[in-house]
Amino acid sequence: MQRFEELRFDNIYARLPPIFYSRHQPAGLNNQFLIHFNRSVAEMLGIDPVEAGRQDLVDLVTMNKPVQGFDPVAMCYSGHQFGQYVPRLGDGRAILLGQLLNDQQARWDLQLKGAGRTLYSRQGDGKAVLRSTIREHLCSAAMHGLGIPTTHSLAMFGSDEEVYREQIETGAMLIRVAPSHIRFGSFEYFFYTQRYEDLKTLADFTLEHYFPECWKEQDGYLGLLKRVIESTAELIASWQGVGFCHGVMNSDNMSIHGITIDYGPFGFLDAYDTGHVCNHSDYQGRYAFDQQPRIGLFNLSCLAQAMLPLFNENPESAAELATAELAKYEQIFEKAWTAQKRRKLGLVAERPEDATLFDQLLDMMQQSQTDFSLFFRQLSESNPQACRDNFIQRDRFDDWSRRYAKRLSQESRSETERRASMQKINPKYVLRNYLAENAIRMAEDEQDYTEIDRLISLLSSPFDPQPGMEHYAQRPPDWANTLSVSCSS
């Protein structure tokens, strides 16, 4: 483990042509201070946890003190937002400081979010507020704890700087960590501006540093598209399995690494509702929970179209190659989602009736507004009365329960083994919106940040019982129904 100054920082992205980014120095905030340092992320990066106690850490990441290897840039990209193409977006409130190469030779981007205006800020101030920063910091840890690929947040900083959104709020920053911050929209930008040589440069850069194994295939560029299709389909299946709603699945919010990125108006299902829309700004329900698989394919189609000049000089031949790969998405997703459903019910053997058994359960949950996470955890704990109490039509649930018991009897595992396996896939704790809101209110109203640390610890082990913390697994209070999150969240 190393001190900050001993780490090997670089910025390989900044060595690309200037069209890929704009250079900016991070702007600090008034009276900025460290709120939380995620020690598990630090360990992953090879950073000594004692760095959490440094008084000058915020000065280092905002470059008030020099750090060898930092070369800050804001990345340029475009994307489809709510289905409409926007010619240029880019990092409007984030600055890529550089890459860190840890002892395992893994390369990690360090990006400072909320560090001031960039060329791509448009009418924005380039800053982040405490509310949204807490939400991203918490959800990054929560998703990692659930085993779902995600960006990470190393540290978050507060300040007494006033930032205006719908009202005056407090400015904040976080250090976001990812293998890279290359997005579907990064490729779209060069395709729609017809900069095909730059498009090739981006693809070659991506393959060289992140997907070198694709060069062994007959067509490395097509191999890259295959990898992204596979990882994206599997990612979205994992979202559906825990009831996670992203909220704003624009193509610029999709990572080529198949990881969850850009936490804004996200939410985990409370009462099961297949059409749940967690983003108050999504007036048409484009990014509803049940639409996420379809939108995943739409975004992959945007990426595939942007990569067409790489596949073949003949547009029709290139389109045929891309279409053939996109056609595999649904099968990959269904395979991953079916495996999720079977595991949530504690089933190992594959039987044709399993899909119907699961879908009938979801239909009953929809009608009864059954709490998604709570029910599946109760099912994994073999608590039949608690499960039954979740439903309005209890006779119908009793019938389903008998068929489920008969199906379980066909398994070779013991009940103890089944329960243990189910509790490894059905979390006891998820980051419900009201839990995040409690942490936000304590931070904003009382400058008390202890709930953030408590939730990070809790959500890092979401499948474990954690005695004394059971109240975090209960149904949300009535006031939680009044919470609303939007694109400004």
Over the range 250-270, which residues count as b (16 or more CB within 10 Å of their CB) and which as e? bbbbbbbbbbbbbbbbbbbbb
CB 88 within 8 A of CB 120: yes
Report the largest interatomic distance among the alpha carbons of the chain, rounded to a whole angstrom.
Answer: 68
Q: What is the CA radius of gyration of the chain?
A: 23
Query: In whole angstroms, what is the distance from residue 453 CA to residue 54 CA?
Result: 18
Angle at 71 between CA 65 and CA 75, to 5 degrees: 130
Over the range 426-453, which residues count as b (16 or more CB within 10 Å of their CB) and which as e? bbbbbbbbebbbbbbebbbeeeebebbe
Query: In whole angstroms, what is the distance from residue 8 CA to residue 14 CA?
Result: 16
Catalytic residue (one of 59, 71, 219, 252): 252
Q: Is 399 a catalytic residue?
A: no
* C-alpha separations of 239 from 255, 290, 366 in Å: 15, 11, 18
DSSP H helices in 155-311: 184-192, 196-210, 220-242, 292-311
Q: Return the half-sphere exposure (C-beta side, CA atoms, 13 A cut-off) of residue 458.
A: 23
Where in the sequence numbering do the catalytic residues fall?
252
